[in-house]
């Protein structure tokens, strides 16, 4: 089991979360199991997502997918996506 931690800034957490929740199928197909997702305490526009996975390669492909980047832009992501993978 590996862990992936993603973070980025958003314009508005509630607006972002609605689109994030609608995109659950993409994460499921990539083999990601959400552990926690939410804004940083004291900084509500900085979002963290923590996932477990058995397939880092599949997860990496999803993260790099152009279609996902379009969804992120639509959701109001304003900052660079930070990715930490722990094996």
pLDDT tens figures, 9-58: 999 999 999 999 999 999 999 999 999 999 999 999 999 999 999 999 99
pLDDT tens digit string along 2-11?
A: 999 999 999 9
Mean pLDDT in residue range 54-76: 96
Which candidate, 30, 35, 72, 31, places its Cα nearest to that of 50?
A: 35
* CATH code, 27: 3.30.70.100
Range of the domain at 22: 2-86
Quickly count helices (H) and strands (E) in the chain. 4, 4
**How many separate domains does the chain show?**
1
- Across the chain, where does the E strand assignment appear? 2-9, 33-40, 43-53, 82-86
pLDDT at site 63: 96
């Amino acid at each position: 089991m590996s862990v992936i931690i993603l973070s980025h800034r958003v314009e508005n957490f509630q607006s972002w979360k609605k689109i994030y929740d609608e995109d659950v199928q993409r994460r499921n197909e990539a083999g990601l199991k959400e552990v926690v997702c939410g804004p940083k305490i004291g900084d509500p526009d900085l979002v963290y997502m923590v996932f477990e996975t058995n397939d880092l390669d599949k997860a990496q492909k999803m993260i790099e997918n152009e279609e996902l980047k379009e969804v992120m832009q639509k959701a109001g992501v304003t900052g660079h996506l930070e990715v930490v993978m722990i094996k």
